[in-house]
Amino acid sequence: MKITVIGTGYVGLVSGTCLAEVGNDVLCLDLDPEKIRILEEGGIPIYEPGLQEMVKRNVAAGRLRFTTSIEQAAHHGTIQFIAVGTPPDEDGSADMKYVLSAARNIGRLMTDYKVVVDKSTVPVGTADLVRETIAAELKLRGIDVPYSVVSNPEFLKEGAAVEDFMRPDRIVVGADDEQSILLMRALYAPFQRNRERLIVTDVRSAELTKYAANAMLATRISFMNELANLAEKLGADIEMVRQGIGSDPRIGYHFLYPGCGYGGSCFPKDVKALIKTAADKADIELKVLTAVEEANDAQKHVLTGKITAHFGELRGKHFALWGLAFKPNTDDMRDAPSRTLVADLLAAGATVTAYDPVAMHEAQRIFGDEPRLRYGDSPMACLSDADALVIVTEWKEFRSPDFDAIKAKLKSPVIFDGRNLYDPKLVRGMGMTYLPIGR
């Protein structure tokens, strides 16, 4: 199939590359010439395991191309994926200007049948707006060209996005006409050879499904974080509680790990957008999700509270920080707990040396030339002259460190663990003060 993907951000680049991998002819459009230059030279503008090799392979095979030409993109694909950003507006609602601009360009330039697929995470009712926007452009041109608008939300985990696309749990397609459903079934047939994974719904149900999934996962995280804070006060161990409730098949073990809060490009933005959609379009207050958001905002300051409780005055203190990305296997720092912690520590007069395997360049972009924030070449290099170690991201390389070396390098043998990586008995048995979450 000939496919156009509009937007080469996280969702667009992964989707386009994986669709090319199974033999489709994919053209990716982005209006940022620097992004296109990087991609054409064999690089990628994001960090995602396995993606760069797949991009190179499909570019070399001629199945994956990149362009800044709106006209070329509009004419190329029978299926037109809209995978542009939907950043939160000041009021928390999703900003739809890039989605509607893409729809406008399709309507302005299309000459034959198109299936326009909303891949971006968009509020319920967006497909109707896209349909109306294309219709208005065709009316201005005085022509009648058939088209369909489909919702096909992505369910990609950063750090495992290629695997998630190539071996999906489910493929949700919201559509109202048989022709577009048949084309979407054909498109996704290579990804579901051993069993049917495609779920066909009406368009609005598909749009809501994406928000509902992320909101549910965010809820589980905030629930466990609040339980962890309670367990700590009551003298219980949240890890034992996690095992006790996770063994119930109605609950399961996924997303029951407490920590220092969730971040990233999806959960914070989507929870806000769903709360705003409910308030504006249905006059409903989503009380549970409002509490989820409030609990997460508070959880991002829990490490600061522990550090302050231990040291008292932080002015003049120096901390080693392991992990900047909001989760492992990505360089994404959007709404990352590390940003809150670094801001808190600097505001209190402390200094920080941070290490992250892939996100330090992103931290430098965010914090600029902040002189009180430095970066280490390795996890151990961060520890020199530090009063304590603070762990914010659960990268694999942090999981089995040399505790004797850590103890020797730190001014005081203290670890604040925002991801509960270690066995408290083991670390404390080595003569270190170990302060995790809820243990």
Supply the angle between the helices 203-234 and 267-282 in degrees, to the nearest 10. 120
Single-letter amino acid, residue 59: V
- Strands 198-201 and 373-375, how do they pair? unpaired
Q: How far apart are CA 240 and CA 25, in angstroms?
A: 51
CA nearest to 426, candidates 418, 434, 414: 434
Question: What backbone torsions phi and psi does residue 12 show, to the nearest 5 degrees?
Answer: -65, -45
**DSSP code for 333:** -
DSSP H stretches of helix in 315-390: 337-347, 360-367
DSSP H stretches of helix in 262-313: 267-282, 287-299, 302-311
**266 is an active site residue:** yes
At 337, is the secondary structure helix, strand, or coil? helix
389 bridge partner residues: 320, 415
Q: How far apart are CA 97 and CA 283, in angstroms?
A: 24
18, 28, 260, 266: which is the annotated catalytic residue? Answer: 266
Which residues carry out catalysis? 266
